[in-house]
Structure 1
Amino acid sequence: MASVREERPAVRASGIVKRYGPTLALDGAGLTVRPGESHALVGRNGAGKSTLVSVLTGMQRPDAGEVRFGGEPAPGWGDTAAWQRKVACVYQKSMTVPELTVAENLYLGRLPGRRAIRWRALRERARELLAAYGVEVDPAARIRELGVEQRQFVEIARALSFGARLIILDEPTARLDAAGIARLFTKLRALRAQGVAFVFISHHLQEVYELCDTVTVLRDARQVLTAPVRGLAEDELVAAMTGEKAGAARRVRTAAGGAAHPAGEPVLRTQGLALKGHFAPLDLTVRAGEVVGLAGATSSGNTVIGETLAGLRAPDGGRITVRGRPVATGSVPRALDAGIGYVPEDRHREGLIPGRSVAENATLTVADQLGPLGTVLPSRTREFARRMIASLDIKTTGPGQPVSGLSGGNQQKVVIARALAREPSVLVAVRPTNGVDVKAKEALLGVVREVADGGSGAVIVSDELDDLRVCDRVLALFHGRVVAEFGSGWRDGELVAAMEGVGSGGSLGTEDMRGKAGKAGKGGTARPAGPGGREAMEEAAGSEGTAP
């Protein structure tokens, strides 16, 4: 490998600047990856990773800076074929065509033959290509018949077939179980031995230590660290991501900057709630007046927990109670009737009907209360909407304005209005400030805090630290299990380390909490919960590679 590494860099990006209007997405960022190297690119959400990837793959032209492949200038912007011969990105969401075969996907857009395609020859050619890179997949199989891991291998083989020697992997392990991750890493190491270079993007820092040679950290659009992984302390890496000094003194996080809010009687309980392949048995208690955070990346299982609480998913086992009464699981209407309000992650896809008015969107969950005998009276709809507009300070011309005409923050307030319309006992909000500006974030989180202060409970599902600062308690999840619990005082580095599965934030230890709530350490001390590293993933996966 030494001789390979002496070659010119597979890619060298330097001084990259990219603006989107007033937003500075990249500020002089850079990245150098050598042949045969696995180079991690990490940073919190919004750090600039996606923008840098779009520049490296020729999707976006930078405002300043330079990209070179193998010492040569990057292809001309817009020359897609030339960029494909240099670099490819395997995204978390597969870019293959499910209804086509493996062979057809491998040669999509460049099928041989001018008049007729020789299908047998195409499959044989695909078989040879796959064999060259050790990919054991039937060329005649349709992509929809393959697992996530096999689809990734097909996409990698397709990229290499163009001549690309640099592959960017965007969260490649997010949907894989422990066994699948092990196989993926084995394949990547074999390809590295052939001189293929990888940029590895992951929210799981333990995987960075397991697979990568070098790591580059982006923070606030800037490149703040590039260093060999070996010898780099975990707390130093987390500190680079968060901007805190390693071992910095603890700072208390509460909504009002004071003591944590007193909690009352339980409003929500789960006992042994579990969904195979997503999260292990969870015992959770949320009390009146309390905001509880479920912190973790999407692959941690926290989003699925929120969807399960809201009735969007049916669990394999366990029970949910609201104010002591059992809730029929797997049913959105039953969850609403039981007193569970829900704010989905994607307001555009799941939260709003764009062609309808503010009033119609805000009253969707109470339409049965707006007229006699199942009718909906426009006057009652408008009056109800006016009250919600006033209470949440929604900036709109009136109840009849199309919701599509509102700003992102005000659209999100409409989604929250709909969730609060039935005066729920508990509000479950998944990444409630996603895609809104700083001022709107404060207002939205203030609404969540007011819900709890009014005698209900709230659950915030997020990996955004600003979302979690309003919480009285935060449970950190990693690969389907609660690995640490924090009280009202916590440090950014502690929480990030727990969510990333490294350090003292909870990835080490032997006690299996199974998500038990109500045991926060004083001053925000993390309580270790469950084995760390690869062992935690394997335990969460169970004997068949999925959560029990």
Structure 2
Amino acid sequence: MAPVPLAEAVPLVEATGVSKRFGSTVALADARLTVLPGESHALVGRNGAGKSTLVNVLTGIFPPDTGEVWFDGEPAPKAGDRDGWRAKVACVYQKSTIIPELTVAENLFINRQPATRGVIGWKRMRREAAELLSTWDVQVDPSVAAGELNVQDRQFVEIARALSFGARFIILDEPTAQLDNAEIERLFTRMRSLQDSGVTFLFISHHLQEVYEVCQTVTVFRDARWIATEPVADLPRGALVEAMTGEAADLGRTTGHREPVTADVRLAVTGLSDGAYEDVSLDVRRGEVVGLAGSSASGKIELAEALVGLRRPGGGTATLDGRPVPFGDVRKAMSAGIGFVPRDRHGQGLVAGLSVGENATMTIADRLGPFGIISPRRLREAARTSIKGLDIKTQGPEQPVNGLSGGNQQKVVMARALAVEPRLLVLINPTAGVDVKSKEALLAVVDEIRQGGTSVIIISDELDDLRPCDRVLVFFHGRITAEHAAGWNDHDLVASIEGVSS
């Protein structure tokens, strides 16, 4: 029998006329989505476009105020039917739901452990976990603690757990935000393999190049409304960005030539070595912005984490304004004048249970009152200064930080780093998982503080993050193998990152 053309297939997922309000806030207005079986369907839009609310509706967390959701031609399960929803859909969130203290097997079978007369069969659970992981080609040890897994393997475990409930519709929410280039390609390879096995994906990302690489169809939301659904191959990038923002976009921009920075050397690194990098030497001058680029296992992130006190290298030296950088001690590094925006804002950058103000001022708590006692008034004043300076969209310093959008959460992390008035600011993937406008705002901060003499190191896999740099140093297999001055073109930089001649 010939396969049914996709255009004639019954949608695996269909949402029509969906609206949702929270008080006076319209989170969705007459939203729609149609996902065909076996495809990877992108959902894109700026922060606040309604993507997260739609995901919550599609996974049964929020009932829609109006509209309907259907799975494979049947109405969605009733509200509260947890098992019914699990059998239809699962979401792998940017912030992992894996419990790090439990083993992989325990995470896979949490609340449904195989048991006899109330006694958990641990051997049976590990055996069934190994079978499940093998079925979906997830190469991890079921007996290892989940907290020991890297970000990508935790994602694969979450996907396997979802598939074990019978779901064949998987929502991936910013899955590449914490992955490097090689890990992203591995994820895409796994997605294509799962598609061949009958799994359908809704892929949410702010990185348009990923949409074009892995998705067949794209739906655009803007201002809580559906804007367009088109085959990816038929939609030029300029038209996609214009649909997302409502503004014409110039995707061909390049960074113009700039004169080299000739100020005094602020950071001097000589012969720094560790397991991930070898004999690295570099200088960063006062007011200079230097980018570090590289592919998987290049060593760029490990080097950055050594400079901010998260790691202690095995050899070599580094000085900041002539004084040794205090390796292995984050607090001493901050006291020495080094600010830091980490790779993972959820795991390393924010304390979810605290307010915006508490998070933004955490690095200067000792300045907010005598004898280690924080003055609420001083905290609010410092927080309001940060909120205004970075245009953080919040109800105020007292709002819980986990109530903000991803872009505004990242601004809070940036505010925390800037609060120490650093002489050197180290940014790792500073715009990961944020929308176009938030990305522009975060990178504008770099241009602002460089004028005041702050030196900046930007480590990123995103070429747009590196465009503000005066120079980009390329890491390859733990060594600096190329340097590109401002005005570089994408082809030459990517060739250096991949270790091929341009």
After superposition, residues 219-230 of structure 1 pair within 5 angstroms as 219-230=222-233
Task: For 1:477-492, list aligned pairs within 5 A.
Answer: 477-478=460-461, 484-486=466-468
* Aligned counterparts of 2:192 and 2:25: Cα–Cα separation in 1: 38
Rounded Cα–Cα distance in structure 2 between residues aligned with 1:222 and 1:526: 36
Q: Hey, what does 1:531 align to over in structure 2?
A: 494
Which residue is 2:393 aligned to? none
Q: How does 1:21-420 map to 2 (within 5 A)?
A: 21-112=23-114, 113-144=116-147, 146-176=149-179, 180-247=183-250, 265-266=263-264, 268-269=266-267, 285=284, 287-288=286-287, 309-314=307-312, 321-323=319-321, 325-341=323-339, 349=351, 362=364, 364=366, 376=371, 392=385, 405=398, 419-420=420-421
Question: TM-score with structure 1 length normalisation?
Answer: 0.63
Q: 1:318 to 1:236 in 2, by over 3 A?
A: farther
Give the Cα–Cα distance (whole angstroms) in 2 for the partners of residues 284 and 25 of structure 1: 48
Does the C-alpha gap of structure 1 residues 174 and 353 become closer, same or farther in structure 2, counting only changes over 3 Å? Answer: closer
Q: Which runs of 5+ in 2 are unaligned?
A: 389-395, 402-407
Residue deviations 1:388-431 (CA, integer Å, cap 9, x gap) = 86995999xxxxxxx975897999999579524xxx54566897
CA positional deviation for 1:226: 2.0
Task: State the distance in 2 between where 1:265 and 1:99 align.
Answer: 49
Aligned to 1:8: 10
Instruction: From the superposition, tell whether residues 321 and 239 of structure 1 become closer, same or farther in structure 2 (CA, over 3 Å).
Output: farther
Q: Is the 8 A contact 1:312 1:330 kept in 2?
A: yes
Distance of aligned partners of 1:264 and 1:19 in 2 relative to their CA distance in 1, 3 Å threshold: farther
How far did 1:526 drift?
Answer: 6.2
SS in 2 for 1:186: helix
Which has more radius of gyration?
A: 1
Larger CA deviation: 45-54 vs 129-138: 129-138
Contact preservation (8 Å) 2:384, 2:397: no
Unaligned regions of 5+ residues in structure 1, if any? 253-259, 371-375, 396-402, 462-474, 489-506, 541-548
CA shift at 1:11, angstroms? 0.5
Q: Secondary structure at the match of 2:85?
A: helix
Q: How many residue pairs align between the two structures?
A: 460
Question: How far apart, CA to CA, are the structure 2 residues paired with 1:172 and 1:360?
Answer: 28
Greater CA deviation, 224-233 or 92-101? 92-101
Q: Distance in 2 between matches of 1:193 and 1:106?
A: 23
CA contact (8 A) 1:17 1:28 kept: yes
The alpha-carbon distance between structure 1 residues 318 and 55, as it changes in their structure 2 partners (threshold 3 A), is: farther
**Bigger Cα displacement from structure 2, 337-346 vs 204-213:** 337-346
**Which AA in structure 2 matches 1:332?**
V
Closer, same or farther: CA 277–27 of 1 in aligned 2, 3 Å: farther
Identity of aligned residues (%): 46
Is contact 1:284–1:516 with CA below 8 Å preserved after alignment?
no
Distance 1:484 1:417 in 2: 19
Q: What letter matches 1:478 in structure 2?
A: D
CA contact (8 A) 2:20 2:29 kept: yes
Q: Which amino acid aligns with 2:467?
A: E
Worse-superposed segment, 334-343 or 205-214: 334-343
Shift of 1:188: 2.6
Shift of 1:21: 3.7
* TM-score using structure 2 length: 0.67
Q: Distance in 2 between matches of 1:30 and 1:220?
A: 13
The residue that corresponds to 1:495 in the other structure is none
Letter matched to residue 233 of structure 1:
P
How far off its partner does 1:87 sit? 0.2
Q: Indicate the SS of the match to 1:13.
A: strand
Q: Distance in 1 between matches of 2:357 and 2:380?
A: 22
